Chains A and B, each alone.
Chain A
Amino acid sequence: MRWGRVPVGLWVPAAGAVVLVALPIAGLLLRAPWSDLGPALASPDVRQALLLSAECSFGALGVALVLGVPLAWVLARVRFPGRDLFRALVTLPMVLPPVVAGVALLFAFGRTGLVGRYAAWLPGFPAPFTTEAVVLAEAFVAMPFLVITTEAGLRQMDQRYEEAAATLGAGPWRRFWTVTVPLVAPSLAAGAALCWARALGEFGATITFAGNLPGRTQTMPTAIYVLLESRPEDAIVVSLVLLVVSLLVLVTLRGRWLGTG
């Protein structure tokens, strides 16, 4: 449809939507200290938060891939009673307020928590105030994005390829790796990107469960929150980093995997 024929009742609110999204971002860009980007990014606490965020978000993605892809396969391929309820349960962290997620994690993995009470001595246990706790909080909140995207891909996939592989004598494990995973790769990649971006931006669950200590549990969003009171310029610079990363993820996703580009 050409511009001239778009009804006023649609383009006016559509323009409003653009303004709603664009104004705050424009505000951020206008306030950014462009000449001081380098020094701000090089300051030790900012760099520390960037590195820790990278480490934790990829760690969370790793956890989500190892646990979430098999879960997506089970949800897509196995019929069992109460599957819809089960799916709702495992995707609950997507809609749960992050602070609630943090409190729930404390009750499970905290010193007096369900598991934490007995298992806190294990090496690498995600006890509160540890980097492992950050990874766990991010994985908890972000894994559902991978699971539902991958599950949708598995459902849309043409299962006759798997059946053909089966008639040729490939066992289920081999079929999964050599047929299913390559065919579902675009959805898997899209889900992984969404999951990673969500993990990178995680704030509420992290600060509630893992606390705030530079170099150990202070990720980029927490650093932004803390810096905003003392060095707002640096907070804006870190925000810009998150903004650019998120934008890259979205542009890449739409162009390559969602087929709308």
Chain B
Amino acid sequence: MPGRQQALRAFVIACVLLSACGEAGPAATPSTRLSGSLIVFAAASLSEALTDNRTQLGVANPGLALTFSFAGSQQLVAQVQAGAPADVVATADEAVMQKLVAGNLVEPPRNFARNLLEVVVAPGNPKAVRSLRDLSRPDLKVVLAAPSVPAGKYARQALDRQGVQVQEVSLELDVKSELQKVESGEADAGIVYVTDVKSAGRMAMGVEIPVEQNVVAAYPVAVVKGTKSHQLAEAFADQLISGPGAEALRARGFLPP
């Protein structure tokens, strides 16, 4: 069947072209076009901004194929330690990234964004939560992220500074599961990032935490050592610091590094 042969030939050519692209990641400045494919491990809180980024980068770099794995930063680090095939890792915490640096698994990380905490409640704030202090109220079901999750660590720092004791109902394993518990109405309040509340849209609303009570989360990105797409991974990290990636992050409410 000639039709099928043609299709097969086209497929083979496409494969050859694709693999050629993959090998030749160009030494790119943030403005040049990227092509090839990358596996990016990123903190759960980055999911909307980076998937936005996927389309933005897609427009800027039609040849770039990104595969994302979103999870709690501590899980991503454990996976990279176990040899997961990531090219780039972006976490919500410098301390957890230091584990990879100490294990000689990544190149020197660079910070690309900052984030702040916010109390998240149901739309319209039916339980009238006004402050961090309110989270100790016994009539509230409060969810937090587990202490090993960056969001959970930051939340605990903020609560400790105010001397607030919280009796949480669950310690979720990443910040998005925590947010989901509030969005679904199972929990009354939680402490998440400002960007999470923003991405939740009408499903939830935020109660601002004053700057002097807040904790700043710094997001580092690092290229995994031994990646086959080293230059491309570097270029991708560059675009997070300034370029289409950075623009997507700002649009989602992330602060500059």
Contact = CB atoms under 8 A, between A and B. Distances in A.
Interface of A: 106, 110-112, 128-129, 207, 210-214, 217, 225-226, 228-230
B184 interface: yes
Contacts of B143: 211
B185 A212 contact: no
Contacts of A228: 78
Given A129-B141, A228-B78, A211 B172 contact: yes
A225 B173 contact: yes
| Interface size of B as a range | 10 to 19
A111 B185 CA distance: 7
A129 B148 contact: no
Contacts of A211: 143, 169-172, 181
Contacts, number: 47
Given A226-B146, A229-B74, A111 B171 contact: no
A210 B169 CA distance: 9
B142 to A, nearest CB: 10
A207 B74 CA distance: 18
**Nearest 6 pairs of A and B residues by beta carbon:** A211-B170, A129-B169, A229-B74, A128-B186, A112-B185, A229-B78
Contacts of B169: 129, 211, 213
B55 interface: no
Contact of A212 (B75, B77, B141, B173): B173
Contacts of A229: 74-75, 77-78, 148
A128 to B, nearest CB: 5
A225 B187 CA distance: 23
30 contacts: A106-B186, A110-B186, A112-B184, A112-B185, A128-B186, A129-B141, A129-B169, A129-B170, A129-B186, A129-B187, A207-B173, A211-B143, A211-B169, A211-B170, A211-B181, A212-B146, A212-B171, A212-B172, A213-B170, A213-B171, A214-B171, A217-B170, A225-B173, A226-B146, A228-B78, A229-B74, A229-B77, A229-B78, A230-B74, A230-B148
A98 B170 CA distance: 19
B94 interface: no
B168 interface: yes
Interface in B5-41: none
A217 B186 CA distance: 15
Contacts of A230: 74, 148
Interface string B121-154: 0000000000000000000010100101000000
